[in-house]
Amino acid sequence: MKTIILRTASNYMLPLLLVFSVFILLRGHYLPGGGFVGGLIASIAFVLHAFANGLGNTKNLIRIHPGFLMPVGLGLSFLSGLSPMLGVGKPFMTGIWYPEKIAVIGGLGSALFFDVGVYLVVVGVTLTIIFTISEST
Amino acid sequence: MIEQLLIYPLLLQMALAIILMFAWNNTSTQKFISISGSTLNLALAVYLLMYVWQNGTQTVQAGNWEAPFGITFVADTFSATLVLLTAIAGLAVSSFSSGSVIPPRLKFGYFPIFHFLLLGLNGAFLTGDIFNLYVWFEIIIITSFVLLTIGGEKAQLEGAVKYFTLNILASVIFLTAIAVLYGLTGSLNMADLAAQVAAVENRTLVQVNALLFLVGFGIKAAVFPLYFWLPASYHTPPSAVSSIFGGLLTKVGVYALIRVFTLIFELDNLLENVLLVIAVLTLFSGAIGAIVQNNIRKIFSYLVICHIGYMIAGLGMMTEVAIAGAVFYLIHDIIVKTNLFMVSGVIYKLKANHNIKKLGDIYADFPKMSLLFVIPLFSLVGIPPLSGFWPKLSLIGAGWDTENYVVIGSILFASFVTLFVIVKLWGEVFWKNGEKLPELRNFPYFKTLTSVQKVQMVAPIVFLGLVSLYIGFAAENIQQLASRIAFELLDNQEYIDAVLNSAKK
């Protein structure tokens, strides 16, 4: 599918969709959204790019193997669950929050890092699956 | 920090799996991390059991949400014992995998998945929330499915399809049962459910619900009549995988049955009879299946099914002696079954064959190794004073007390058939002058392995053999442990108090 319209559009869509996925990730604590959906949208951005420009170009764009994001994301989520135990001596997975609101992000707490971990895992898994399938066909 | 001791085994397994994923392609690093991590896990599990033994039931409210609402992790003596057994089997299989599983399979993330499986097992034993139990079961199914299919041989895929279909069916039934239970009581916390279920007025629905749980867990525990998936799949993956499956996976089903039917549901006459009938039929069908098979691993698979019957019978009789017998048998069985599948793996590496008709000469060629294999084989039969003997004594005694003579008969029958099968196996595989098997090219025979790999394969068999001998010769200690577990299970007030009152502190 090497059409010039799609190729031009995908260059603009990629950053737009990535920003949108971060937006979805951040609003997810109290409203619909969150790491899982955000991660899916981010991987759609890359899949669209791969459709328009070929798999090789997208891989060059990402540089690292997407599978590497899985342990990174899992590790981040794990550490965010661990942080209340190490930091304040509360049980595993207790939410700890920075008392003041921060611009753009809103509330900053361990749950946010957990969600970011989920985001990374979802991007890693989805892209690994899709890249593997499209390589083997 | 010490009050959260009981989730350390979970956290450790999770951390190990993540670290192992970072070393995805470097299998020798993975082996080192897996074995040393499992050793650490064993130390933790021993400490946890000692701590629970001295200080009583421990709880952690995950996320600091109070008991009936949040997810509670509970370690009573039963859970802590099973976590310890998982750690022992996990260490043995981790070492055995390092020696026996071929590198192309390891490259597909064998070790990370293996530790996720152990995470799921530990989680299932430690959770105090029925829906969380379902989630751990899912983790177990998914990881075991991956372990079953790594390598992608045709036979493996065939076995995996059967395995996955029936287990996912069991999960659906289990989930339905949870939904009905939640609809009846509005709670998912097992300690809270204990009080809530007793107060429900619609007894028929409670009974149907209990049966749904029985079917769901029954499929996972591979009891009659839904055990087909087990012998269809356990002989296909590498023997390291079969050994962790044979040792622990069906036992999670048994654990869940024991937990649910001692804590949440009161056994009435109908359920007791259903359980006893299932136990008797499981003992018979497993035993008879084991007689006709010729593949070593299929024989062991049928023996796994057969011996599940002992534990179900103990649960069905529901006296303190019977439960103690069932728990003792569970302890003995996890160690022995794990060991047996590893033995079958070593035999396969020696002779490149699984068929007992074709095998032979092992005693003549490898006398020392054969003497080592005697321990698990005859522990399984339960020749006194080896470990299988003592729990059967309790079970038969309990059968006598409750006048279940059919159960006694089938226990004796199954023991007798097990003896027959093992003696047949011993005669065929070890003593017989076997036919000359053709030397396969490219097959990793035992003699071609490096000495480190040989040690990694034989050491876990020695280790589990020693544990079996300990269970047999120090049966008094294990009996004490089993009796205390049975007491705690039947008088569940301590469990309930530990979960619900810790929230009020």
Q: Answer whether B263's CB lies under 8 Å from B492's CB.
A: yes
Arithmetic mean of pLDDT, B321-333? 95
Answer yes or no: is pLDDT of B375 > 70. yes
pLDDT per residue as tens digits for the range B385-430 = 888 899 999 999 999 999 889 999 999 999 999 999 999 999 999 8
Task: Give residue A51's pLDDT.
Answer: 87
pLDDT per residue as tens digits for the range B437-484 = 778 877 888 888 889 999 999 999 999 999 999 999 999 999 999 999
Task: Give residue B1's pLDDT.
Answer: 64
What proportion of chain B, given as a percentage, has pLDDT over 70?
99
Cross-strand bridge partners of residue B74: B59
Answer yes or no: is pLDDT of B505 > 60. no
- What's B2's DSSP letter? G
DSSP annotation string for B352-404: S--BTTT---HHHH-HHHHHHHHHHHHHHHT-TTSTTHHHHHHHHHHHHHTT-
The residue assigned the tokens 């737009």 is A16
Give residue B93's identity as a one-letter amino acid code.
V
pLDDT per residue as tens digits for the range B183-228 = 999 999 999 999 899 899 888 999 999 999 999 999 999 998 889 8
pLDDT per residue as tens digits for the range B4-26 = 899 999 999 999 999 999 998 88
pLDDT per residue as tens digits for the range B265-282 = 988 888 999 999 999 999
Taking CA–CA distances from B61, the nearest residue in chain A reads A91
Answer yes or no: is pLDDT of B41 > 80. yes
Tokens describing residue B495: 């469990």
What proportion of chain B, given as a percentage, has pLDDT over 90?
73
Q: How far is A83 from chain B (nearest CA, A)?
A: 11
Answer yes or no: is pLDDT of B332 > 70. yes
Residues of chain B in Cβ contact (below 8 Å) with chain A: 1, 4, 7, 11, 14-15, 17-18, 21-22, 24, 60-64
pLDDT per residue as tens digits for the range B287-316 = 999 999 999 999 999 999 999 999 999 999
- Show the CA angle centred on residue B367, arms to residues B362 and B371, nearest 5°: 100
pTM: 0.95
Closest partner residue to B64 (CB to CB) among A75, A82, A90 is A90
The residue ranges of every structural domain in chain B are: 2-504
Parts of chain A with a pLDDT under 50: none
Q: How many structural domains compose chain A?
A: 1
Answer yes or no: is pLDDT of B504 > 60. no
For the beta carbon of residue B88, count every other beta carbon within 10 angstroms. Answer: 23
Confidence of residue B147 (pLDDT cuts 50, 70, 90): very high
Q: Which residues contact B196 (CB under 8 A, 6 or more apart)?
A: B184, B185, B186, B187
Residues of chain A in Cβ contact (below 8 Å) with chain B: 67, 70-71, 74-75, 78, 82, 84-85, 89-95
Q: Which residues of B132-158 are buried (b: 16+ CB within 10 A; e: fewer)?
A: bbbebbbbbbebbbbbbbbbeeeebee
Query: Which residues span the domain enclosing A27?
Result: 4-136
Residues of A in contact with B142 (CB under 8 A): none
Q: What is the mean pLDDT of chain B?
A: 92
Answer yes or no: is pLDDT of B178 > 60. yes
The residue assigned the tokens 């199914």 is B141
Task: Give residue B459's pLDDT.
Answer: 95
Task: Give residue A35's pLDDT.
Answer: 92
Closest partner residue to A91 (CB to CB) among B15, B24, B60 is B60
